[in-house]
């Protein structure tokens, strides 16, 4: 299967030598005039310069171009970083005869180092010359940092009897946590939709995808997700009704597939872990419980070792700050195996059963709180030796 082209979108990639020679590290995405956009960004207070500039530009103009560099985050760089992000937009605008406000900049890589602006700007003509509607996979390669493989997803649906495509790419493998995560993602559709509807649909999709994943609990300075709608298919996404639902579901499915691909490619990850919390008083406490489990180094290292040390999961649930938790009602499962019931080890549970589940590469932890009807689901990884090595050697 290949990525579906989105009418009105072209992508170009260059090797600009931003951090390493001969590595694809600069991507330009061109959107046809009239394209509408929505976006969400990191909630980290130390947001990167390109995030600040992209937010300001998006508030003032519909984007015609997105420019993404890897190898340097342009974060923690103060006034110079902002000037460099603006200079990037001006340089691309001069090449393409658009306004600088119609360019959105994005960066990912090492924090706190000056952006090698001259090399980035020198690479822009190369990326522009390479613009092509079928370059989604090439662009997915071009935005990678510690990722080991490119991440893309596509869906096709019918709106008003016309075929509509939705395609997205993403990068991310470490420094992954909600409130966006250390990731960049770019999704486009050839349906027409106004900004209000796009923003609604994007927020709905993010809640079930990029805000439902974690590798290490660290929220990046550079997270950004952009949804573009070119309108080139001739179909318009309605604001309500069955077709609105189908369009929103297609965007949601693309985002979920991309988010899950990030977890499967988590730095050093050997396990893909689903954490499902049920029976909560509200979704917030279900999510809090899920993330308490997911962020526990003891739980994560047990999964890496394939060790059914279920007491670590029990302890994580117990410290999730659930007021008046009735332990007798709590049940915990590893896949189909019940490990905790009535406040303690399930009477029919055996270590051999737990070991059999923990040896799997895909595992579900299901927690039943027994205090309501709310649920939450997130995805995470184990914590391996390679995670430590990758991040210890990141700048070397």
Residues serving a catalytic function are 182
**Taking the CA of residue 268 as centre, how many other CA atoms within 13 Å lie in the half-sphere pointing to its CB?**
22
Encoded tokens for 2 = 């290949």
Helix (H, G, I), strand (E, B) or coil at 394: coil
C-alpha to C-alpha distance for 7 and 10, rounded to whole angstroms: 8
What three-state secondary structure class fits 303? helix
Residue 231, both tokens: 């309108």
* Nearest of 149, 281, 167, 272 to residue 214 by alpha carbon: 272
- The tokens for 287 are 């999510």
Could you report how far apart the first and last alpha carbons of the chain are, in Å?
36
Q: Residue 162 pairs with which residues in a beta bridge?
A: 159
Q: Where are the alpha helices (DSSP H) in 319-380?
A: 351-358
Local structure of residue 146 (DSSP, 8 states) = S
Q: Specify whether the CB–CB gap between 139 and 16 falls below 8 A.
A: no
Map residue 350 onto helix, strand or coil.
Answer: coil
Helix, strand, coil percentages in the chain from 3-state DSSP, rounded to 5: 35, 25, 40
Contact 238, 202 (CB under 8 A): no
Structure tokens at 224: 């950004």
């Amino acid at each position: 299967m290949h990525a579906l082209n989105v009418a009105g979108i072209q992508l170009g990639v260059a090797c600009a030598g931003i951090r390493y020679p001969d590595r694809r590290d600069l991507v330009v995405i061109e959107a046809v005039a009239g394209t509408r956009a929505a976006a969400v960004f990191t909630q980290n207070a130390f947001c990167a310069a390109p995030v600040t500039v992209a937010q300001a530009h998006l508030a003032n103009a519909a984007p015609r171009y997105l420019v993404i560099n890897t190898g340097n985050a342009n974060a923690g760089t103060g006034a110079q970083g902002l000037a460099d992000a603006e200079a990037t937009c001006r340089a691309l605008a001069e090449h393409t005869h658009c306004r600088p406000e119609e360019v959105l900049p994005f960066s990912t890589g090492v924090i706190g180092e000056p952006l090698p602006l001259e090399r980035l700007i020198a690479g822009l003509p190369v990326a522009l010359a390479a613009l092509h509607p079928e370059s989604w996979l090439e662009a997915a390669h071009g935005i990678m940092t510690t990722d080991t493989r490119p991440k893309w997803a596509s869906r096709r649906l019918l709106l008003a009897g016309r075929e509509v495509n939705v395609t997205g790419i993403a990068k991310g493998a470490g420094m992954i946590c909600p409130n966006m995560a250390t990731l960049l993602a770019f999704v486009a559709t050839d349906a027409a939709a106004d900004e209000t509807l796009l923003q609604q649909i994007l927020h709905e999709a993010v809640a079930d995808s990029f805000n439902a994943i974690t590798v290490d609990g660290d929220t990046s300075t550079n997270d950004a997700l952009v949804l573009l709608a070119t309108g080139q298919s001739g179909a318009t996404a309605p604001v309500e009704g069955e077709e609105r639902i189908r369009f929103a579901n297609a965007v949601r499915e693309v985002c979920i597939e991309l988010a899950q691909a990030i977890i499967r490619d988590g730095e050093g990850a050997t396990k893909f872990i689903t954490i499902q919390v049920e029976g909560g008083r509200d979704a917030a406490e279900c999510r809090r419980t899920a993330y308490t489990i997911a962020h526990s180094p003891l739980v994560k290292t047990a999964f890496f070792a394939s060790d059914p040390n279920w007491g670590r999961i029990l302890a994580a649930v117990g410290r999730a700050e659930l007021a008046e938790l009735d332990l007798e009602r709590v049940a915990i499962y590893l896949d189909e195996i019940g490990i905790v019931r009535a406040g303690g080890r399930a009477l029919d549970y055996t270590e051999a059963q737990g070991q059999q589940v923990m040896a799997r590469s895909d595992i579900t932890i299901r927690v039943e709180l027994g205090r309501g009807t709310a649920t939450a689901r997130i995805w995470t990884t184990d914590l391996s030796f390679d995670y430590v090595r990758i991040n210890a050697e990141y700048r070397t």
